[in-house]
Amino acid sequence: MKNRLPSWISEHIVLPVITAPMFLVSNPEMVIAACKSGVIGSFPSLNARTVDTLTEWMSTISQELAHCKAAEPTKKIAPWAINIVIRHLNNRLEEELELIKKYQPPLVFTALGNPAPVVEIVHAYGGIVFSDVTTVYHAKKAVQSGVDGLILVCGGAGGHAGTLNHFAFVSAIREFWDGITILAGGIANGQDILAAQAIDTDLVYMGTRFIASAESNAGEEYKQMLIDSTIEDILYTSTFSGIPANYLEPSIINEGLNPDDLGSHADFAKTGRKAWKNVWSAGHGVGRTKSIQTVSEIVGELQTEYDQTLTALQQVSHTRTHLNTSMS
């Protein structure tokens, strides 16, 4: 497996994992806990409802991680990331870009728009920029804008998701892109992380698995629904936001809606309901959520699964080598 990650990432993570930036779920506590556990923590800028709150969040994350690094210089403390929406949906983009200049998040993830202006700002202080993509067309556009990496949002991802198969999407991307690639969609355990590396991706997004963490902003009912749900409880629809996304069907039913007859986004908008507040998102990996755990406990579990799988594969490889040598 090729190592495309800069050393300031690869040498400070215990697993090639990013806790995905989840709307209304991710927060500074979650980001800090992830980074201290050795995986990249991230959050969407719009989770901070005001610019003042965003300033406070970015300051808190920067200061806390700097303090941790100073206190434990040999410990693997991962870098942090912020996700920003570029299109007109984000009416405070210019203010957010000023905060990025000030607090210099090592990684910046962009969604829904041309990331070129962000690339210029982030590259000026030595950070790197990734762009969310769900199609080959948008991946090529992102590469042309100068991003450092692509986030391949495949079928089965929580929230807004694409429909492409992981294997086929990665293969198509690798025909024209040899840069850093993050894989997203249904990744829920250590075996999945290793499989993502095996198909030539460098990092993975994991969202659903961390929604039920003790540190997340998700309410107790949401967390319990994740524990109780399986892949069969996930519904892919554009009704709630106008963009296709994966949601928990039980939360739709709890809103008094019929999952088999949701109607259009325009119809839903007329009801005045707030989709993300009461209709909850999750990905195809939801079945792996069995209990509420701390971020640190989840990462520890993922490490064990990853290491056990890697050891098993190495044993298989050793056995094959031995057999081939014996036969020759």
How far is Cα 258 from Cα 141, in angstroms, rounded to an integer? Answer: 38
The yes-or-no verdict on residue 108 having pLDDT over 70 is yes
Dist. CA 80–CA 108, nearest whole Å: 9
Measure the CA–CA gap between 206 and 189, rounded to whole angstroms: 9
pLDDT at 305: 96
Mean pLDDT along residues 308-317: 84
Distance of alpha carbon 277 from alpha carbon 282, whole angstroms: 13
Strand duo 245-248 + 159-160: pairing: antiparallel
Predicted TM-score (pTM) of this structure: 0.93
Distances (CA, A) of 163 to 56, 153, 245: 36, 8, 10
117-149 tens-digit pLDDT:
899 999 999 999 999 999 999 999 999 999 999
Distances (CA, A) of 147 to 96, 120, 134: 18, 10, 15
- Residues 6 or more apart whose CB falls under 8 angstroms from that of 125 comprise 101, 104
Rounded Cα distance between 269 and 256, Å, is 15
Amino acid 28: pLDDT: 98
pLDDT for res 326: 59
Mean local confidence (pLDDT), 240-265: 91
Nearest to 79 by CA among 11, 1, 178: 11
Which of the 8 DSSP states describes residue 29? Answer: H
Q: Is the pLDDT of residue 166 over 90?
A: yes
Query: Domains (ranges, CATH) in the chain?
Result: 7-219+283-327 (3.20.20.70)
Q: What one-character DSSP code corresponds to residue 281? A: B
Residue 174, pLDDT above cutoff 80: yes
Q: Which two tokens stand for residue 139?
A: 């991946």
Give DSSP secondary structure letters for 128-152: EEEEEESSHHHHHHHHHTT-SEEEE
List 204's β-bridge partners, or say none.
17, 183
Query: In terms of Cα–Cα distance, which of 108, 131, 107 is closest to 181?
Result: 131
Q: What Rg, from alpha-carbon coordinates, does the chain have?
A: 20
CA distance 182 to 209: 17
Give burial (CB, 10 Å; 0-12/13-18/19+) of 208. buried
pLDDT 10s digits, 192-210? 999 999 999 999 999 999 9
